Each structure stands twice: as structure tokens, then as C-alpha cells.
């Protein structure tokens, strides 16, 4: 199933969906027939009612209709609730529509179901939509989010580095991009010592996926995604409880891959590069150890303070590679620290940026499209926490505080000073159901960042 399957094209027999803002309800109700006003009163329908409301016909010739009441700026949530609640049938939006694009996206994401391993019931309601340019754009955004959710929800048994590599290569082939994959001991020969060390204990060898697309004369945009397909914690092994959701530790790679596909499908005028360091952090006789010192692609040495702080290690190699060509913008996405979740919860990604203009732009677009992010500081005085007495850096830091900040500071060491860069530390998982956001894998920041790129480079 795809997002487009939740919509009907030229269906003529459609039930009207009367879409009102909360502030418009009283005026609308006053214009209804006496029978309908009495029915609304009996049903105790108020402006704050959020579930779809069935309205009986006023005459024998009239069809029933459905009333949707939305708060201001809740177009997404309103249609996301509706697609789940309405029965099988075709529906058509009527009246002055508050935000049609947000509504269509809400319908598309509210209807998402991960059904690869079960016969989960998909919504049966279909929304009539015109084949407009705006609708096509919304469907591409929805497909990107569905792709990221599917990848994050897939267990490691079916999404190890080799599987993710196949998906990335197929994506490149489908979109006309170029793809190069460096595998196993080839990583050592190419200088990617951190990626190799983190992934070498797995029976499925580590990989660096490198995809490029676009005109060389266009602004260079580089995306990097943390692809830890499963994280046992390594020799600093996680608890059973801590390991339960570690199939989602490749959420950053899923977001970056889906975002890259969206950029290509929308033909943004950029020179795109996608770097996905992809590993399983496993345990075996050749696993990397606490106290080991790794040489990264940049040449910087890193003492291993904790093998469960592996994400920043593989990102370091990829960021250093991306920085070599001095892109106009570099963005990385990672399920990196529990500290960011303690600070901001599971739904709000932490963003670190070395440019105020960049940060302000992404923050504004996130608010505009209903995909908020929150900026945390790259507080330079905390850099002492990533120093080592026997190497250039330590991957684990010192002390129990500000873990998200010193992780971001660690990554900053591998980004060129002249490069505009932002780092997103996110959960990639919903622990409770919200409209358009089911429990399971999700990709906060994807829509916000795409909207920013479209505003910045799409002119």
C-alpha cells in the first residue's frame, strides 16, 4: 500500500466532509435547519468536538455528510483523525478549507500502517483529491515519511547493513543517482577505521554507502545518517530492556535516505551527497573494546570510553569524508543520546547548529509545517569532556551531565569550520499514539528540513 491508495481520483459519489475551524462553528450552526440544529444539540456537539460528526440529511434528496471541527493550525491533526475514524467509502472536502496541503498530508500519514508481518487493518476511507501540483508534492513527502517509518519498524533480522545497502542501491538506481558502497576490510584500506571497528564483530560486514546526484554547478548539500542497524551496546552491553528498541538505531539513516529520495523526486537544484555509515554493533571475539584507540578518517585518534557510544564514531568518519569537498550545507541525523530524550522527550528532536541563520531557518520551517525541532547549544566550554589523556578525543565523555551537548561537540570536530552544519539528535520512535503518528518508527525533522531546503535552494 502507498499513500496515494488512501485517495480516490475521479469518484463522483462522495460523502461531503464539512471542514470548519472551531471559531466558525457557531456561525455555521446558526445557518442550519431547525432539525439539524436540534440534532446537534441532542448530540451535544460543541466547537471543541474533535471526532468526525455524522450529519443526517435535511431532505430526502440529500446525502448524509460529515462535520470536521478543527482548531486553528490543526488541519493535519483533523484529517489524520478522520482517516482512522471514518468507515469504508469515498469522501470529499467541502467548504472553505483551512489548509488543504496540511490536510492531505494528515490524511496520508494518519492512514499509515506497518503491515509487513501482520494483517493489520488499513483504513478503508478514501478522500477525493485533485491531481494538482501541490497534491503531487504532498504525496512525495508522504512517501518519504512512509519509507522512513517502514525502515525503522523493520527488525534487524530483515534490515542488517547488507539489507540497508540493497535498499539504498535500489533507491539510487530508481532515481538515477550514483551509488558506491565500501564494505568490510575495504573500509580499513580507505581509512574508515571507526566504521570498521564498530561493525567488524558482526557476521554482516560494516558498510559506507555513498550516493551522489545532481548538477555539479548547483549548491552542494550533504546528508549523513547514523545507520546502526542493531545496537547491542558492544562489550559495554545494554540491558535487556535497553536493547528492546535497538532495531530503530538506524533511524538517522532512514531519515537521511528518505529525505534524499524526496529531494531527488522533487528535483531540487542541488548537488546532493548522501553518506550512510552502516553497521551492527555486535559482540564477538574481534569486537572493539573499552580503552582501544581508533584512528578515524580525518586522522584524529579516539580513545574508546564506552563501546555503546558507537554512533558518533561512525558519523565521525562519514562527516570527515563529506567535509573534504566543503559542501555549502551538511546535515546529520542520528538516534544519538538518551540525554536529548531526557531534555526534550521522544517527539521533539534536538538540533545543534554552527550557524544562527541556518538554525533560525530550520526552526521557522519546522513550526510552519508542524514538524518542530528545538535548538540546544554547542557550548564550547564543555569540550573538556571529550578530551583524552592518551588520544585526541574520548568518545564517551566524563560525568553524567550534558551528554547530548558533548556528543554534538564530538561530531563538530569532524566538520570543517567554514561549513554550515546542523546535527539532529532524535528518538525516531513514538511511544504513544498521536494523530498522524502511530506508535512505532517515525521521522521527526524530515519535513522541517525538506521545507527549509526547498525555501533555501528551490528558488
Read off the pTM: 0.96
Q: Are 332 and 445 in contact (CB under 8 A)?
A: no
pLDDT of residue 416: 83
Distance CA 226, CA 107 (A): 29
pLDDT of residue 94: 83
- Reply yes or no on whether 124 is catalytic: no
Q: Are 252 and 442 in contact (CB under 8 A)?
A: no
Count other C-beta atoms under 10 Å from residue 390's C-beta: 9
pLDDT, mean of residues 195-220:
98
Lowest mean pLDDT among 11-20, 99-108, 137-146, 402-411: 11-20
Q: 263 versus 75: which is more confidently predicted?
A: 263
Active-site annotation holder among 137, 238, 295, 383 = 238
Distance CA 337, CA 350 (A): 10
Lowest mean pLDDT among 113-122, 195-204, 234-243: 113-122
Q: 155 versus 50: which is more confidently predicted?
A: 155
Count other C-beta atoms under 10 Å from residue 332's C-beta: 28
Q: Tell me: the pLDDT tens digits for 151-177?
A: 999 999 999 999 999 999 999 999 999
Q: 378: number of CA atoms within 13 Å, CB side? A: 17
Active-site annotation holder among 81, 200, 220, 312 = 312
Q: Tell me: the pLDDT tens digits for 423-451?
A: 999 999 999 999 999 999 999 999 999 99
459 has pLDDT over 70: no
pLDDT of residue 177: 98
Lowest mean pLDDT among 8-17, 340-349, 369-378, 404-413: 8-17
Q: Are 42 and 55 in contact (CB under 8 A)?
A: no
Lowest mean pLDDT among 75-79, 272-276, 325-329: 75-79
Work out the pLDDT band at 252, boundaries 50, 70, 90. Answer: very high
Residues 6+ apart with CB under 8 A from 77: 70, 71, 106, 435, 436
pLDDT of residue 60: 61
pLDDT, mean of residues 223-231:
98
pLDDT of residue 61: 63
> What is the residue-averaged pLDDT of the chain?
95
pLDDT, mean of residues 372-376:
98
Distance set, CA 360 to CA 43, 222, 348 (Å): 46, 19, 16
pLDDT of residue 132: 74
Lowest mean pLDDT among 115-129, 184-198, 331-345, 428-442: 115-129
Work out the pLDDT band at 74, boundaries 50, 70, 90. Answer: confident
- Reply yes or no on whether 312 is catalytic: yes
pLDDT of residue 120: 79
CA dihedral of residues 323, 327, 328, 330 (deg, nearest 10): -60
What percent of the chain is predicted at pLDDT more than 70? 99
Amino acid at each position: 500500500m502507498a499513500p496515494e491508495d488512501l485517495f480516490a481520483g475521479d469518484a463522483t459519489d462522495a460523502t461531503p466532509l464539512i471542514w470548519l475551524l472551531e471559531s466558525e462553528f457557531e456561525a455555521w450552526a446558526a445557518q442550519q435547519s431547525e432539525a439539524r440544529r436540534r440534532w446537534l444539540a441532542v448530540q451535544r456537539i460543541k466547537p471543541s468536538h474533535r471526532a468526525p460528526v455524522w450529519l443526517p440529511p435535511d431532505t430526502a434528496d440529500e446525502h448524509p455528510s460529515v462535520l470536521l471541527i478543527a482548531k486553528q493550525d490543526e488541519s493535519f491533526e483533523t484529517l489524520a483523525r478522520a482517516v482512522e475514524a471514518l468507515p469504508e467509502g469515498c469522501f470529499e472536502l467541502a467548504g472553505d478549507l483551512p489548509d488543504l496541503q496540511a490536510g492531505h498530508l494528515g490524511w496520508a500519514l494518519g492512514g499509515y500502517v506497518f503491515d509487513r508481518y501482520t494483517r493489520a487493518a488499513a483504513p478503508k476511507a478514501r478522500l477525493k483529491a485533485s491531481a494538482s501540483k501541490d497534491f503531487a508534492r504532498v504525496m512525495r513527502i508522504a512517501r518519504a515519511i512512509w519509507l522512513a517509518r517502514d525502515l525503522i519498524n523493520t527488525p534487524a533480522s530483515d534490515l542488517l547493513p547488507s539489507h540497508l545497502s540493497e535498499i539504498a542501491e535500489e533507491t539510487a538506481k530508481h532515481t538515477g543517482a550514483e551509488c558506491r558502497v565500501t564494505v568490510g576490510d575495504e573500509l580499513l584500506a580507505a581509512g574508515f577505521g571507526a566504521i570498521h571497528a564498530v561493525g567488524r564483530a558482526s557476521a554482516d560486514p560494516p558498510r559506507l554507502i555513498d550516493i551522489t546526484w545532481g548538477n555539479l554547478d548547483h549548491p552542494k548539500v550533504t546528508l549523513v545518517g547514523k545507520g546502526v542497524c542493531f545496537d547491542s551496546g558492544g562489550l559495554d552491553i545494554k540491558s535487556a530492556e535497553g536493547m528492546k528498541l535497538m532495531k530503530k538505531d538506524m533511524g538517522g539513516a532512514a531519515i537521511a535516505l528518505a529525505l534524499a529520495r524526496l529531494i531527488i523526486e522533487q528535483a531540487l537544484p542541488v548537488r546532493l551527497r548522501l553518506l550512510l555509515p552502516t553497521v551492527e554493533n555486535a559482540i564477538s571475539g574481534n569486537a572493539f573494546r573499552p580503552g582501544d584507540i581508533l584512528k578515524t578518517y580525518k586522522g584524529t585518534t579516539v580513545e574508546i570510553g564506552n563501546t555503546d557510544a558507537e554512533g558518533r564514531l561512525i558519523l565521525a568518519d562519514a562527516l570527515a569524508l563529506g567535509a573534504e569537498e566543503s559542501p555549502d550545507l551538511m546535515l546529520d541525523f542520528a538516534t544519538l543520546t538518551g540525554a536529548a530524550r531526557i531534555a526534550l522527550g521522544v517527539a521533539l528532536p534536538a538540533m545543534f547548529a554552527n550557524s544562527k541563520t541556518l538554525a533560525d531557518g530550520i526552526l521557522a520551517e519546522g513550526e510552519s509545517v508542524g514538524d518542530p525541532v528545538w535548538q540546544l547549544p554547542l557550548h564550547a566550554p564543555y569540550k573538556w569532556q571529550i578530551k583524552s589523556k592518551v588520544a585526541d578525543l574520548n568518545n564517551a565523555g566524563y560525568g553524567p551531565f550534558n551528554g547530548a551537548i558533548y556528543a554534538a561537540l564530538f561530531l563538530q570536530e569532524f566538520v570543517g569550520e567554514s561549513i554550515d552544519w546542523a546535527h539532529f539528535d532524535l528518538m525516531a520512535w513514538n511511544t504513544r499514539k498521536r494523530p498522524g503518528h502511530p506508535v512505532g518508527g517515525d521521522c521527526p525533522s524530515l519535513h522541517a528540513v525538506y521545507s527549509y531546503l526547498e525555501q533555501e535552494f528551490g528558488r
